[in-house]
Amino acid sequence: MSEKVLLVDDEGDFLEALSQRMTSRGMEVTTTTSAREAIKKVEEGSFDAVILDLMMPEMDGLEVLQTLKQKKPEIQVILLTGHASVAKGIEAMKLGAMDFLEKPAEIKELTEKIKKAQAKKMILVEKHNEEKIQKILVDRGW
Amino acid sequence: MKGEWEILGQEGFQFFGKMSASISHEIKNTLAIINENAGLLEDFTIMAEKGLPLNPERLKGLAGKICVQIRRADRIIKNLNRFAHSADERVKAVDLFEILELVTALSERFAARRSLTLALVPLPEPLSLTTYPFFLENLLWLCLDFVMAQAQSGKTIFLTGEKRPGGLQIRFTGIENGNGNRPSDFPSPREKALLGVLGGDLHFDVFKREVVLTLPQDLRS
């Protein structure tokens, strides 16, 4: 099953090149240069992974991360940054990021992390569905 | 005076650090774009080895994009170099437009993060002043930072300079329909310390909603 990825970065040329490379590797890629549009796309669609630039206009990357996790807790977010400090990395993980990569990133490494993101999301969704079924069974006394 | 120099030192370090970090982020972004486009070239080569035809126009396009980013990185490094060299000499004669141009270039990324545009208006005539270049750049940045905080998202901030009796005047405009925030402390001790060493005057015109910086043309006189 091909991975569904949302790429979010204010550099259009970066998005264009990376999305082409990801598409040629079998992924289904959506791109946006706007943080607010990214939130809207996540609300309306279903993505296995969001690759999110940390420094963007409109909204700070960590703020976007927090909002995405509030709207879709199962979404897996991989942050991309020009400077991956330990402090920022810890802050990002605490807010629910799946991983934290420094630009320029190796496509092989990014692809592996996206596959992991898809697997992790599937586990979370299955767990959530199981919990829902359990609750129905309990509520109905079956 | 010792207190002012302590403020100047602390502020100077923070200013230098902030600008250096911003420049390094921008260079990383250009490297990321070059990396992806070079990666695409590699992908096309691998596909060609497997028998898929190469599209010369596409290759040309990729090469062009890489060149654009290299030129962008070169401009960024040139600005970093000019900025670094502004601390070479304490007091020297500088071209006002060049200094405004440099500070505008260094501040563009910060403006973009606030969805603002910076526009430097060409000066009516060449103007030079003898001053501390680094401290002047620091003060211009603080003025811009203040004005950007007042401005509404999507707007353009204009910088203009002109000769006035007794010196030069630099105006920061574009906050006529600002966000309504009342500046609580401007100029603050940081700006005042810089004004002290530059021999300048700074005020926020509440009615015209513009920041006006006046400087002597020659600090030594």
Q: In chain B, what residues touch A111 (CB-CB under 8 Å)?
A: none
Answer whether A17 sits within 8 Å of B69, measured CB to CB. Answer: no
Contact in structure between A7 and A21 (CB atoms under 8 Å):
no
Task: Provide the percentage of residues in chain B whose pLDDT is more than 70.
Answer: 95
DSSP state of B182: P
Answer whether B36 sits within 8 Å of A21, measured CB to CB. Answer: yes
Segment B147-157, tens digit of pLDDT: 999 898 899 99
Give the three-state DSSP class for B63. helix
Nearest to A7 by CA among A68, A63, A80, A72: A80
Hey, of A24, A103, A108, A111, which one would you mutate to test binding to chain B, going by the most B CBs within 10 A of its CB? A103
Answer whether A103 sits within 8 Å of B31, measured CB to CB. Answer: yes
Answer whether B25 sits within 8 Å of A56, measured CB to CB. Answer: no
Closest-CA residue of chain A to B23: A82
- Name beta bridge partners: A4: A28
Can you give the pLDDT of all 221 residues of chain B as single tens digits? Answer: 458 888 888 999 999 999 999 999 999 999 999 999 999 999 999 999 999 999 999 999 999 999 999 999 999 999 999 999 998 988 999 999 999 999 999 999 999 989 999 999 999 999 999 999 999 999 999 999 999 998 988 999 999 999 998 899 999 998 876 655 556 688 999 999 999 999 999 988 888 889 999 999 998 87
Query: In this predicted structure, what is the pLDDT of residue B30?
Result: 95
Contact in structure between A21 and A50 (CB atoms under 8 Å):
no
The secondary structure of chain B as a DSSP string is: -HHHHHHHHHHHHHHHHHHHHHHHHHHHHHHHHHHHHHHHHHHHHHHHHTTPPP-HHHHHHHHHHHHHHHHHHHHHHHHHHHHHHTTSSSSEEEEHHHHHHHHHHHHHHHHHHTT-EEEEPPPSS--EEEE-HHHHHHHHHHHHHHHHHHSPTT-EEEEEEEEETTEEEEEEE--TT---PPPSSSS-HHHHHHHHHHT-EEEEETTTTEEEEEE-SBTT-
Query: In this predicted structure, what is the pLDDT of residue A6?
Result: 97
* Residue B34 half-sphere exposure toward CB, CA atoms < 13 A: 14
Nearest to B7 by CA among B151, B205, B142: B142
**B21 reaches A (C-beta below 8 A):** yes
Q: In chain B, what residues touch A10 (CB-CB under 8 Å)?
A: 112
Find residues 44-103 of chain B whose CB sits inside 8 Å of chain A. 47, 65, 68-69
Shortest alpha-carbon distance between residue A134 and chain B (Å): 47
Contact in structure between B40 and A17 (CB atoms under 8 Å):
yes
- C-alpha A105/C-alpha A109 separation (Å) is 7
User: Which CATH number describes the domain made up of A4-139?
Assistant: 3.40.50.2300
Q: In chain B, what residues touch A83 (CB-CB under 8 Å)?
A: 21, 24-25, 28
Contact in structure between B30 and B72 (CB atoms under 8 Å):
yes
> Could you count the other beta carbons within 10 Å of the beta carbon of residue B91?
13
Contact in structure between B134 and B106 (CB atoms under 8 Å):
no
Q: In chain B, what residues touch A107 (CB-CB under 8 Å)?
A: 36, 39
Answer whether A14 sits within 8 Å of B33, measured CB to CB. Answer: yes
Q: In chain B, what residues touch A55 (CB-CB under 8 Å)?
A: 25, 113
ipTM of the complex: 0.86
Residue A84, pLDDT > 70, answer no
Domain B92-215 - what CATH class?
alpha beta
Query: In this predicted structure, what is the pLDDT of residue B102?
Result: 97
Q: In chain B, what residues touch A13 (CB-CB under 8 Å)?
A: 33, 37, 65, 68-69
**B188 reaches A (C-beta below 8 A):** no
